[in-house]
Amino acid sequence: MSTVLSGLDARLPDLERLYVDLHRHPELGFAETRTAAELARRLTADGYEVHTGIGGTGVLGVLRTGPGPTVLLRADIDALPVRERTGLAYASTATAVDQDGREVPVMHACGHDMHATWLSGAAAQLAAHRGEWSGTLLAVFQPAEEAGGGARAMVADGLFDRAGPPDVAFGQHVTPGPAGWVLTRPGALMAATDALRVTLHGRGGHGSRPETTVDPVVLAASVVLKLQTIVSREIAATEAAVVTVGSLHAGTAHNIIADEAVLEVNVRSFDGGVRRRVLAAIERIVHAEAQAAGAPRPPEMTELATFPVLTNDEAATARLTEVFTGHFPEGRVWEAPQVTGSEDFGELAAAAGVPSVFWLVGGLDERTVLEAIAAGRFETDIPSNHSPLFAPVLHPTLRTGVEALVVAAMDWFGSPAVA
């Protein structure tokens, strides 16, 4: 392993430049053209067979060194419609037009710029030492993870037709934990997500004559309050779910009662049975409240996004945790908590029918994080993913992420003699 990782220190300044460049130029899902072009250029320079435009803007690099297993390493590359407030010298000032035609600020608030840099560095490191391993490496740079469609789009566009399916898939995510820490967990790691748009129909009119209307704002308020009882009154204390109404729009003026109200609802769960009960309860409540209000038409419910539970293969996770524990310094490898955030990484392994492991890598100043935890102020003082203040420290975050990917791949590849 020390041989395959030799030269990484000398590579870090270039990876830092790549990270800063990606951070300054974030792009929304399925619009990552500049990002994809730079990552493809680097793969080509490292000797990979490169395929671009997969599932829109996805990139696949293939490197074959001989007989042996096929290992897939994946990084997501899209950013978020968030206005950056980190104060960094390389902070994003980018804007873009979203899928609804609105101009929005754009920021890598979830750390996908770090993920892309990690994989680019690991791909370069493994290519530089290709004589030390035998097999096939698939470096997958995936678009549009945030909306939940990127992995499916790449699979549907023939990702595995280019070089065949992998034998195992690995991925990782930067988290607001201490930089240099690596966190693994067998089984369910990240939650399933269901995002819904609910359109409630009323009968509009003048604000001075509410008796002639069916007010969708009052209806929406009833729905929002009632939805909050699902978790508190229909889900057992030993089970987990989250129901959030993240968006509510109705009306255009203070003296007009609108014709409709539109809600966007987000559901998180770790268990299929819980998920089905929550979704059924949402549908029941929405329709019942509309009927109780005398709505002129039934409500409409549209799926916006869906992510499955991200579940790590038990045996592969145990094996990788042991390898990480042996490689990284003592006190750096920990068990990850379950995360109510969601990821579509697992769809790649599910489509290929192979085991997969996804882990977390800390990205914030260790002393700051540990002091906040000790003071009971982690939730209030430490910016999390999707915050406009989220900003991973470059070192040792860069090196840790690159090493983790290389170590995972090399454990599976072994050496030419073993393969």
Under 8 Å CB-to-CB from 238, ≥6 apart: which residues? none
Say whether 287 counts as a known binding-site residue.
no
Say whether 129 counts as a known binding-site residue.
no
Contact 418, 197 (CB under 8 A): no
Catalytic residue among 32, 145, 194, 343: 145
Task: Provide the sign of the torsion angle of the four alpha carbons 381, 385, 387, 391, taken in this order.
Answer: positive
Say whether 146 counts as a known binding-site residue.
yes
Could you write out the DSSP letters of every residue in 362-382? EEE-HHHHHHHHHTT-HHHHS
How far apart CA 394 and CA 381 sit, in angstroms, is 20
Residue type at 290? A
How far apart CA 139 and CA 348 sit, in angstroms, is 12
Residue with tokens 């008796």: 211
How far apart CA 278 and CA 280 sit, in angstroms, is 5
Residue with tokens 């060194």: 65
**175 strand-pairing partners:** 362
- Is residue 264 among the annotated active site residues? no
How far apart CA 163 and CA 70 sit, in angstroms, is 9
Contact 173, 358 (CB under 8 A): yes
Neighbours of 69 (CB within 10 A): 17
Catalytic residue among 46, 78, 260, 411: 78
- Is residue 21 among the annotated active site residues? no
Contact 109, 79 (CB under 8 A): yes
Say whether 84 counts as a known binding-site residue.
no
How far apart CA 400 and CA 178 sit, in angstroms, is 11
How far apart CA 43 and CA 400 sit, in angstroms, is 21
**Burial code of 339-372, b = ≥16 C-beta within 10 A, e = fewer?**
bebbbbbbbbbbbbebbbbbbbbbbbeeeebeeb
Active site residues: 78, 145
Q: Which residues are annotated as a binding site for Mn(2+)?
A: 110, 112, 146, 173
